[in-house]
Amino acid sequence: MTCKPLHSLSFCLLLLGLGLVLACPVTVAAQGAAPALSEESARWTVNGSALYQFQADLDRGGNYSVSRFFINGRWSHPVNSQLSLGVGLRYAFEDYSFSDAVGFSGQAPWGDIHMPDLSLAAFYRAADDWRFLAAATGGFAAEAGADTGDSLIYGGILAATKKISPDLTLGLGAGIYRRFEETSFFPLIFVKWKISDQWSLGNALQAGPTGPAGLELVYRPGEDWAFGLGGAYRSVRFRLDRDGAAPGGIGQEKSFPVWLRASRRLTKGLHLDLYGGLLPGGELRIEDSSGRELRRDDYRTTPFMALSFSWRI
């Protein structure tokens, strides 16, 4: 299936919006990342990102901003022509800055968040262009000073994809993750559609404890440049420190980022990406150590920018 970009851009944008609704229907954690839903062609992949979310006004008064950083390394090994195994190691750091947060009694609900995790995956290539994925992830998500033993997050994913045609691959799956006092179950929809030589539609992020993989419409004018429009629903959930606003409690941020992306291929394996986007409102929440809500506040639309790289060997 193909369409001419100039005559079908509106159709593709409509499809993008529909895909975002289908791919991101539930709340899941944003820490961690299982391997993607298809085999990696490279044995080693290293990627990282630095993101700054500009100051956002809180509905009850005050504001906050956040800087986010992560580094992720993955290794894959083909056991035979059908089976491949993968290992991933990731570390994420988020630095929150609050000012006069009235909804949280005027104090910062949390500060620095640390999120390391390890993922294991198996990819199986079956007959008739079917692919299967089984992945498990375990890690920690905690504010500095929190009890590490109470900060474990773990779970897994099962998914299957089918190559419908040379230009279209579709897939379904499910993930289940335990996040402190909450168990999250979510469906996965995998899309890889080459609309034309220059246009494509596919998942924007890796599926895993991050949740559904989002969706992105991409335009490639040549081999070295790509431009994307995408979005995904994310939620970060973490254990709070022992001496803060809710000692030993749980913090959570929900958001629905949408973005524009410009990517440049520097070498065969090295890519740089520049993102600019918006968070059209979101939610901050504090729970006690048993998962009962104590306080929450919404924040208004705020912009963000990010720079990332990907290196495949």
The pLDDT value recorded for residue 182 is 86
In 3D space, the residue among 184, 190, 222 whose CA is nearest the CA of residue 207 turns out to be: 190
Token representation of residue 52: 């700054």
As a whole number of angstroms, the distance between CA 299 and CA 280 comes to: 9
pLDDT tens per residue, range 185-218: 888 889 999 999 999 999 887 655 545 668 999 9
Contacts 24+ apart (CB under 8 A), 91-95: 91/115, 91/116, 92/31, 92/68, 92/116, 93/68, 93/69, 94/66, 94/67, 94/68, 94/69, 94/236, 95/66, 95/67, 95/68
Q: Check the CA dihedral 160-165-166-170 and report its sign.
A: negative
Query: What is the secondary structure of 179-190 as a DSSP string?
Result: ETTEEEEEEEEE
Residues 6 or more apart whose CB falls under 8 angstroms from that of 78 comprise 84
Inform me whether the pLDDT recorded for 74 exceeds 80.
yes
CA distance 156 to 36: 13
Surface-to-core class of residue 308, CB atoms within 10 Å of its CB (0-12 exposed, 13-18 middle, 19+ buried): middle
Range of lowest pLDDT (10-19, 124-133, 186-195, 241-250):
10-19
Over residues 212-247, the pLDDT tens digits come to 668 999 999 999 999 999 998 888 899 999 988 899
Provide DSSP, 224-264: SEEEEEEE--EEEEEE--SSSSSTT-EEEEEE--EEEEEEE
Q: Which helix (H) or strand (E) holds 23?
A: helix 5-23
CA distance 86 to 41: 12
Element (H, E) at 199: strand 199-202
Q: Report which residue type is found at 86.
A: G
- For residues 284 and 295, the answer to whether their CB atoms sit within 8 Å is no
Bridge-based pairing state of the strands 182-194 and 168-179:
antiparallel
pLDDT score recorded for residue 24: 34
Q: Contact at 8 Å (CB) between 251 and 181?
A: no
Task: Name the band, by pLDDT with cuts 50, 70 and 90, for residue 8.
Answer: very low
Beta bridge partners of 4: none
User: 3-state DSSP helix/strand/coil percent for the chain, to nearest 5?
Assistant: 10, 60, 35
**pLDDT > 90: what percent of the chain?**
68
pLDDT grade for 179, boundaries at 50, 70 and 90: confident
Can you read off the two tokens belonging to residue 154?
């773990």
> Which pLDDT score, from 0 to 100, does residue 49 have?
94
pTM comes to 0.83
Per-residue model confidence (pLDDT) at position 4: 38
